[in-house]
Every structure is written in structure tokens, then in C-alpha cells.
Amino acid sequence: MYIFDTTLRDGEQSPGATMTHDEKLEIAELLEDMGVDIIEAGFPIASEGDFAAVRDIANRSKNAVICGLARAQVPDLERCWEAIKGAPRPRIHTFIGTSPLHRAIPNLSQDEMADRIFETVSHARNLCDNVQWSPMDATRTEWDYLCRVVEIAIKAGATTINIPDTVGYTAPVESAELIRRLIQTVPGADEVIFSTHCHNDLGMATANALAAVEGGARQIECTINGLGERAGNTALEEVVMALKTRGDIMPFETGIDSKKIMHISRRVSTVSGFAVQYNKAIVGKNAFAHESGIHQDGVLKNAETFEIMKPEDVGLATNSLPLGKHSGRAALRDKLRQLGTEVGDNQLKDIFVRFKDLADRKKEVYDEDILALVTDAMTDGAEHLEIVSLKVTCGTGGPAEATLEMEVGGEEMSATEHGDGPVDATFKAVRALYPNKARLQLYQVHAVTEGTDAQATVSVRLEEDGKIATGQSADTDTVYASAKAYVNALNRLHVRRSKTGSDVKEISYKDVS
């Protein structure tokens, strides 16, 4: 079974989930390391930033097929090929909307669209010997027409036929039957790989993907944490662990090293700014937690009474013994390795300083605290905006007051502002020192661990002139973490502004596949 990951393309299309160039390279490396067969690295013609990311991922790849997305247009296809041609195993993925609703957008008749499909798939095949074709909104395309265009794409040279449920409309019984009938009906279907790409609008993406496998699909398109348009895509961790756990009824194997799932899940959550819900299957904080007395008693006597998977199978540490202020650097490095994180000596030195500071403020430092420290260390650096100090006064007697000292482009400045609360006052102080028109789209706080001394992880999403950036930070001081997250997001916007939009998508590709 081939696993096709589109976190860097469809996942990044989630509003606010835009990743930096370096983050995309990091996630691609983690995907390849865990055994993903095909990585859809992006949409090269969308922007210079997307092109550069796909090109660099392709040039650095070793084993995975590196795929770029292209509309059914010659400039798209050639731009895509330019980006991926440096990969040892490149693939062009081209698509066009085939349902009546999507055909109406370019105002093409069935015959005109059929001609375009043949021409563009043929052109793609002349550029690259590995071509995937998708009839966007396939599940709402007329059956006879779907068969016709799939046959055309195969004759034109497509080697993989992907059947997208673009708007999450289908149900498992339909998903299986659609793939089965296409394989049985379309001439040449036995010579290509059929793929499934499901969205989660009705909460059935994973079920629909697995049903398609039952129907004959041998490639599953998915994303880490189910990230993606609207309600998201099929979650990689869910289909991989479903196939692994229920091999008795789904006898298909993947090449995924499941023990690396938790690490990449946490990294994607961090770089995208999209927190994983506590009750999310496989990777949620409560996925292996038991509170009911009956459940706890059963698990203590025999874990299989209430656990169908072992926590360590997805990369969770078998124990979560906390470190403390007396723990040394070797213990910290060992803990990081247990958590799937390798750091260099300089990074370890920085994280260790932060760890000691946190240990002085907390009685016990848990795994989640360590991971939050790593994230903070990786996001800090030489930035246009850097917080020097923050002092906040608040209470019931009047408005909150925030006094902020911050470096702006290397120049230290200070401001005092009042607000409805400490966070409001702090954000006003930031804006006083760095005037901007960024609109706050999301402000989210959640505790990393339990207890009143827990670190707070804060996510902030800003929008300015169509550009979206997410910042994240963690600290035991919620207001300080909020300020750092806000400043991190502003730094990202500043970088994009100074690069004249190189990381900003220049064309609309909503609801692609």
C-alpha cells in the first residue's frame, strides 16, 4: 500500500497553516524518514516561495517520490517539472474539475474538457514518466463521463489515477463501489495504480479511504493530523494504524515506521499552529489516557482490556517520568532521544539553559514541557522584533497596564499601554512600538501539562493584506507567552513583507483535489 502525504500541499492550504521555507524542508525530511512513499511537496506555480520549497525538497530527497501539483495548463506543468526534476524520483500530479459544477467554472463542454485532459496529461508524460491525474470532485461527476475521462487519462500516459472526494460528499459504501467499478469498467485500469483522496466534511474521510482500499485502491492520500481544507483530509496516522491494527480484515502493509508518528504529529502541530484536539484518534493527548476507575483497573491488570494499540507503537514514551532541577545535561539529552528529537550540542546547550530556568519555576518538568522548550528554542533567533522585558499590572481596581521593552530592528524601545486585560494591554504595547495593520484571527491558549505551574502554549494567527502568519510560544507566564507568540507572528509577516511576497500564494487554489 502506497502512502501519499500531502501535508505540504493540501495541509498547508488550511487558512493560517502556512509554513516557512525551512519548516517545509524539515517536515519533508521527517516524512521521508518515517517511510512515506510519495510526498506532495507543493504547488510550484502558486508563488516563488512554493516553487523554491518544492525545488529544494526535490533536490534533497533520497528515497521518496517527490510530487508537484499542476493545473491542466501547459505553463503549470512546465513550472512543476522545473521544480521537481532534480528529485531522484519525480512525479507530476495534474488535475481538472470534472463534475458539472466544476466544468462550469472554465465553461468547458464535456468534449472540450476531454480534449484538454488528453493534451495536458500527454504533455506531462513527455516531461516526466511518472504522472498522476485527478478528476477533481470525482464523487459528484456523472458516472459515464468519469469513466470516459479516466480512460482518456490512462491512454494519454497517466500512471496513477487519483479519485478525489474533494468536498467530503461520499460515504464508505459508495467509495468502495466507485473504485471497484472503475477498475472493472475502464479499459487499461489494470495497468495503473488507483488512488483515493478523501476530505472530512462529514467526518468520514478515514472510513472512505479504507473503503476505497477495499474496492481496489492501492494509494492513500493523507496528511499528518488530518490537516487540510475545511474539515481536513484523511489523517495519515489513522489509516496507517488502522491497517496495522486490523490486518486481519485489511491485509495491506505500509512502509511507515509508526514509532515516528507522534514526533512528526507534534512538529506539524507546532509549525502550522494547529493544536491537536485532546480526543483526536492516535495522536490526541487522551488517546491512551484512562480516567474511569473500571478502565484504569483493567489497564493495570492487562493493557489489552482497553488498549487496542501499544502507546510505544506510535512513538509515545512508555513512561513519562519527570525531570527536575537536579537533572543533568545527559539526562536531558536522553529524554530528548526518547521523545524522538535529536539536537546538536549548541541546541542542547540552549535548551538546557531554558530547562534549568523552567525547573526552578516548576516542581516537575514533564515530556510535554521538554517538547515545548525545544519548540521555543527553535523559533527564537535573530529577529526584527525581540522582547527585552515585560511588566504587567492588573486586577479588579482598574484597567490592566503593560510596560514593554522591545528591540525593533536592533533599536531598543519601550512603551506603556492600558487595556481591558493584561493580554490586551500587552498587544497594544507591541503595536505602539511596531505599528501594523495585522488583524488578530486567532488567539488560543492551552496548558502543556496539569497544575497551576503548567506552561501555557499560546498560538496567535495574524492576517495583513491577505498574508497570514502564525506564531507560537510557551511559558509558565501566560501573558509573556502571549507576547512572544504575537511577536513571532509579526516577525513572520515582516519577513514576507521584506521578501515582497515570496512566501505568499499568488493564485487561488482553494478546493484543489
CB 487 within 8 A of CB 430: yes
Tell me the C-alpha to C-alpha distance, in Å, between residue 244 and each of 182, 238, 247, 250, 324.
27, 10, 6, 9, 37
User: What does the DSSP assignment read for 404-429?
Assistant: EEEEETTEEEEEEEEESSHHHHHHHH
Please say whether the beta carbons of 192 and 154 come within 8 A: yes
Exposure b/e, 242-260, CB count within 10 A at least 16 = b: bbbeeeeebeeebebebeb
Check if the beta carbon of residue 28 is closer than 8 Å to that of residue 22.
no
Show Cβ contacts of residue 328 under 8 Å, excluding neighbours closer than 6 positions: none
Report whether 233 belongs to an annotated binding site: yes
Q: Rounded CA gap, 427 and 392, in Å?
A: 12
d(CA 291, CA 297): 10
Distance CA 116, CA 106 (A): 12
Separation CA 436–CA 413 (nearest Å): 16
Residue 191, all three cell numbers: 495497468
Mutual angle of helices 329-338 and 345-361, in 10-degree steps = 100
CA 333 to each of CA 2, 327, 343, 357: distance values in angstroms, whole numbers, following the listed order: 34, 11, 8, 17
Stated as kind and residue range, the H or E segment containing 387 is: strand 385-393
Classify residue 275 by its DSSP letter: P
Cα gap 334→264, rounded to integer Å: 19
Known binding residue 350? Answer is: no
Going by the DSSP 8-state scheme, the letter that residue 228 receives in this structure is -
Specify burial of residue 79 (Cβ count, 10 A radius: 0-12, 13-18, 19+): buried
What SS3 state is found at 235? strand
What residue type is 278 in one-letter code? Y
C-alpha cell at 430: 507591541
Give the full edge-to-edge strand order of the sheet including 467-475: 439-447, 456-464, 467-475
Residue 56's nearest CA partner among 90, 24, 19, 33 is 24
Residue 227 CA, distance from chain mean position: 5
Annotated ligand binding at 197? The verdict is yes
Residues making up the binding site for Mn(2+):
10, 197, 199, 233
Residues making up the binding site:
10, 197, 199, 233
